Structure 1
Amino acid sequence: MSGAIIFIQQDLKITETQQEILVGILSIVSLLGSLAGGKTSDTIGRKWTMALACIVFQSGTAIMALAPSYKILMIGRLLAGIGIGFGIMIAPVYIAEISPSIARGSLTSFPEIFINLGILLGYISNYVFSGLPVHSNWRIMLGVGIAPSVFLGFALFIIPESPRWLVMQNRIEEARTVLLKTYDDTKEVDQRLAEIQITARIANAEKYKEKAVWLEILNPSPAIKRMLITGCGIQCFQQISGIDATVYYSPTIFKDAGIEGNTELLAATVAVGFTKTMFILVAIFLIDKLGRKPLLYISTIGMTISLFCLSFTLTFLGDQRFGIGLAILFVCSNVAFFSVGIGPICWVVSSEIFTLRLRAQASGLGAVGSRVSSGVICMSFLTLSRAITVGGTFFVFSVISALSVVFVHTCVPETKGKSLEQIEMLFQKGSELQVGGEIEMGDAECLVQRQ
């Protein structure tokens, strides 16, 4: 959308306010998909919730590509947002539940990899199709987004259902079959299956007590409260540090730095997309070696410095050749630090920390916080930039990013190498959140007694 919006503005003659709404509304409306995704995935399964996300997203994208007016374009954008809301909520949950502990961090980062790859391909398609007539180029830019979801739709006929969801449905043998595909050792499969059954029995026992999941979230125990603070907090900090403003409005940022001409602006955005995609691969290799927390420190501190330097450059060195180069450098360094840490790890942590009974709904709630934060940032960026300049806006983002460093230190535990059931015990032992103590496999049995 970042490049297409330039030509949509020319073709449909939309105002600056309409532009902000068009860009930001996708994030806001996606919360509907995220909220509905939790209950939907508990009812029809993780796998077929992803199928529903594909169908809704494809419908919205097709409507946008064919839209004759701003109103129809908004309808398509709303549908696409709901589909994205389903997708961003369920994908990390599914991957976390089906992955072995030793590789869960890397595998749960894959949604962020493909988000970044999609952003890069979007930037490239913007540049490639920018030379076409204004009436058709932005439609092609938006329409090509259907292709990846079509591929995912076919893949859903091959991939298995989540073993943890199968256990919740008392389909034990099916769950064991799925676990045998992800673990080589039969003994370990039986051990993992036993752990899952323990937590599933707790969840089912609570269902008989008719204690609603949302009631438990709204009136949480100390352990659940710590999980919610960590999961929702890291989701919000991921967005309020301004990453989506950087992605969606990168042409505006570079224009403020002094770049002129649509082709040059879109070429600069390709560099941003390439950097963002390459550094997500670094996170994949390091997340299960260094751990979540060290990468979060590197990411948040690096983003803070990059955002401050970008603010300084845009304020004092704009319209200079040297300043243009620095602006591109600091935008790229900001997205690089984002991709190496808080970008993928946000989804990893939020999909790991919640109990089996609450995982889908609580992850959906965290995704809502992320989408609302993103929407507020995107729908206010142009207005705020007009009020305090683009450089001033990025100074605000740098202050928020500095606060995220403090949040990581105080609220995010290290979850590397632990099973989902062990991580649950980690939050039961709340004093260990900062130091991340080791938890024995047998400690999962204590969950029964705690209930």
Structure 2
Amino acid sequence: MSSKIERAFSGPALKISNFLDKFPKIHNVYFIACISTIAGLMFGFDISSMSAFIGSNPYGNYFNHPGADMQGFITGSMGIGSFFGSLLSSFVSEPFGRRLSLIICSLLWMIGAAIQSSAQNVAQLIIGRIISGFGIGFGSSVAPIYGAEISPRTRRGTVNGLFQFAVTVGIMIMFYICFGVGQINGVASFRIGWGIQIVPGLILFFGCFFIPESPRWLAKQGRWEQAEQIVANVQAHGNAEDTNVLIELAEIKEQLLIHEEAKSVGYATLFKKKFIVRTFTAIFSQIWQQLTGMNVMMYYIVYIFQMAGYSGNANLVASSIQYVLNVVCTVPALLLFDKIGRRPLLIGGAISMMIWQFGLAGILGSYSKPWADSGNDAVNIRIPESNKAASNGAIACSYLFVCSFASTWGVGIWVYCSEIWGDNRISQRGNALSTSANWILNFAIAMYTPSGFKNITWKTYIIYGVMCLAMAIHVYFGFPETRGKRLEEIGQMWEEKVPAWRSASWQPTIPIASDSDLARKLSLEHKEDAEFSDEKIQDVETNSV
């Protein structure tokens, strides 16, 4: 969006921001992250709301037992909305700020949940899921960028990892809610379950009134004093002279000055020579995350456990254990990504997931038998109840796959895609584009999987196993390490075409001031020119027109 267009929106944006700023603010970075990542919690709610009901009689009877293709479209319809929502999110978050985007996310989610809860037919259910998907698209694009922009650099991985943690918590909570209401013999079971989805939307809506705006966004708008105060409040309890605060402010100022002559930034910018490699890296990061097959395990876990010989409440209880493991194994990843790095965990996770996908395919291929009268168009094989060892082996592979994903790719990709750009100017557009790739693959996989189970049964898992091997190779050769690096260091690394396998030990060839130098330099500027922001940023905007 060009600076002229941004100026056209500057008046309304200022009014909206000022209105939101009238409410008291909580500057604890973990509180801020917990509010912003409710968008992830809502995504988790949606996954469980479908997985818990698609095998139930009330759902099947009311919606005329959808076939494999129709159930795939119902499940995947949220991904369609999320795809378009993520692409449109930057047109709101850039001129109007990150908080308004999160508010829109909550409103669309609640409207969609209300439509789903009152659905009279399949068409209305699909419409409700598409509208909710628009909200999730907004939230999943904006929340990681907001987290990266407001959190201290040393805690960026942990804070951004909370988005995926929120997804896993949402999956687990909603599954148990649906398990409870599923004991109701009638349509109230799924209507109550889908209606409860409104609750996290309400929490996000009201929570946005109590969190600060992104300081980087404020600096772009020329509101430097407010940006400076937020950085100080978040990182040092209001101490503007703290070393970490000065370093952060120096980085923001340098980013703005570097781009003072920058032209308009649109999606086409991402495919220019300077940015195209990192654009495709980010897009494939999100594509690969979907092609691990994790959402097969989440959306259609009931189908998988039916193939393994489980039914009724035994199926749901076994499924719920998987969701608990998903939450538990996400916690270590929040710490490991900042200690070990992005590349080792992504490569190790991909290889591990490949092993368990092949293991599940091998067990089902060797021990399952045709099951013609399953009552489900997508499930036509089953391990006999007499072969408990094979059933337990299949379930173990499923559990271990989820543990491998949750502790690596689940958290890792949202962190990686929020920091990979090395250029604050394109980060929002880039993150929106890469997130849209995640959602279009989400739709495709949700749509394809029931038909895959119907037509090639256990061979479906071989496809995902091969994809896991491919992504491990791609990470080794194409994903540079970003742990602990500042934005300008990441940008310089891309520009110098540093081989990904050497990126962890790479040092900038163009000198970048050390943290202490930046702090000392900015401390002097801070004392000499307290009005830096208003005058300098105005100059930036004037020169960029």
TM-score bucket of the superposed structures, by smaller chain: over 0.9
Which amino acid in the other structure matches residue 405 of structure 2? F
Alignment match, 1:4: 53
**Counterpart residue number, 1:150:** 202
- Choose which of 181, 189, 198 in structure 1 pairs with 2:254: 198
Shift of 1:38: 1.5
- 1:347 has 2:400 as partner: no
- Counterpart pick for 2:439 among 371, 395, 413: 371
Answer yes or no: is the 8 Å Cα contact 2:82–2:137 preserved in 1: yes
Tell me the amino acid that sits aligned with residue 126 of structure 2: M
Conserved in 1, the CA contact under 8 Å of 2:286 and 2:438? yes
Aligned residue in 1 for 2:362: 312
Alignment of 1:438 onto 2:500: no
- The offset of 1:243, in angstroms, is 1.0
Aligned to 1:177: 229
Paired residue for 1:105? 157
Q: Give 1:260 deviation, angstroms.
A: 2.2
Tell me the distance in 1 between the aligned counterparts of 2:253 and 2:273: 22
CA contact (8 A) 2:342 2:481 kept: yes
Q: Residue type matched to 1:275 in 2?
A: L
- How much does 1:213 deviate? 2.1
Structure 2 residue identity aligned to 1:372? I
In 2, Cα distance between the equivalents of 1:420 and 1:96? 11
State the Cα distance separating 1:187 from its structure 2 match: 3.5
Contact 1:227–1:427 (CA under 8 A) maintained in structure 2: yes
Deviations 1:203-228 (A, max 9, x none): 44213xxx44222123x124x12211
| Structure 1 residues 215 and 204: alpha-carbon distance in aligned structure 2, compared to 1, 3 A threshold | farther
Q: Distance in 2 between the 1:118 and 1:416 partners?
A: 27
Cα deviation, 1:152-186, whole Å, max 9, x if unaligned, reads 22221111111111111111111111111233362
Give the letter aligned to residue 193 of structure 1: L
Report the Cα distance in structure 1 between the residues aligned to 2:480 and 2:514, rounded to whole angstroms: 18
What amino acid maps onto 2:153 in structure 1?
Answer: S
The verdict on how the C-alpha distance between 1:282 and 1:187 changes in structure 2, with shifts beyond 3 A counting, is: closer
Contact 2:148 2:419 in 1 (8 A): yes
1:62 Cα deviation after fit: 1.1
1:31-50 maps to which residues of 2 (within 5 A)?
31-50=83-102
User: In the TM superposition, what is the alpha-carbon distance from 1:199 to its structure 2 partner?
Assistant: 1.7
Contact 1:425–1:443 (CA under 8 A) maintained in structure 2: no
Bigger CA radius of gyration: 2
Out of 261, 264, 268, the residue aligned to residue 314 of structure 2 is: 264
Query: What residue is the counterpart of 2:302 in the other structure?
Result: 251
Distance 1:136 1:46 in 2: 37
Given the alignment, which residue of 74, 86, 89 partners 1:22? 74
Question: Which residue of structure 2 lines up, in the alignment, with residue 277 of structure 1?
Answer: 327
Point out where structure 2 has 5 or more consecutive residues left out of the alignment: 1-49, 369-382, 519-539
What's 2:167 paired with? 115
Distance in 2, Cα, partners of 1:368 & 1:203: 26
State the distance in 1 between where 2:446 and 2:418 align.
25
The Cα shift of 1:356 comes to 1.0
Alignment of 1:290-329 (within 5 A): 290-318=340-368, 319=383, 320-329=387-396
Deviations 1:77-103 (A, max 9, x none): 110010010011111000011111111
Q: What residue is the counterpart of 2:379 in the other structure?
A: none
Per-residue deviation, 1:352 = 0.3
Q: Does 1:52 align with 2:123?
A: no
Amino acid at match of 2:354: T
Output the amino acid matched with 1:290: I
1:348 alignment partner, SS class? helix
Measure, in 1, the Cα distance between the counterparts of 2:293 and 2:260: 41
Aligned residue-pair number: 440
TM-score calculated relative to the size of structure 1: 0.93
| CA distance in 2 between partners of 1:130 and 1:38 (Å) | 39
Matched, 1:429 2:496: yes
Distance 1:77 1:124 in 2: 20
Q: In structure 2, how many angstroms separate the alpha carbons of the residues matched to 1:324 and 1:122?
A: 26
Partner amino acid for 1:110? L
Q: Deviations over 1:379-417 (max 9, x none)?
A: 01111121111x100011000011010011011111111
Alignment equivalent of 1:186, drawn from 225, 229, 242? 242
1:315 alignment partner AA: G
| Conserved 8 A contact 2:294-2:402 | yes
The amino acid across from 1:292 in the alignment is: R
Aligned to 1:358: 426
The answer to whether the 8 A contact 2:477-2:499 is kept is: no
2:468 & 2:303 partners in 1: Cα distance? 21
Q: What amino acid is the match of 1:135?
A: V
Task: Give the Cα–Cα distance (whole angstroms) in 1 for the partners of residues 61 and 484 of structure 2.
Answer: 52
Question: TM-score when scaled to structure 2?
Answer: 0.78
Once residues 375 and 215 of structure 1 are traced to their aligned partners in structure 2, the CA distance between those partners, rounded to angstroms, is: 24
Deviations 1:217-243 (A, max 9, x none): 23x124x12211221111100001211
Contact 1:349 1:415 in 2 (8 A): yes
| Counterpart residue identity of residue 227, structure 1 | R
Counterpart of 1:52, as a letter, is I
What is residue 242 of structure 1 aligned with on the other side? 293
Name the SS of the counterpart of 2:340 in structure 1. coil
**TM-superposed deviation, 1:432:** 4.4
Match of 1:167 in 2: 219
Gaps of 5+ in 1: none
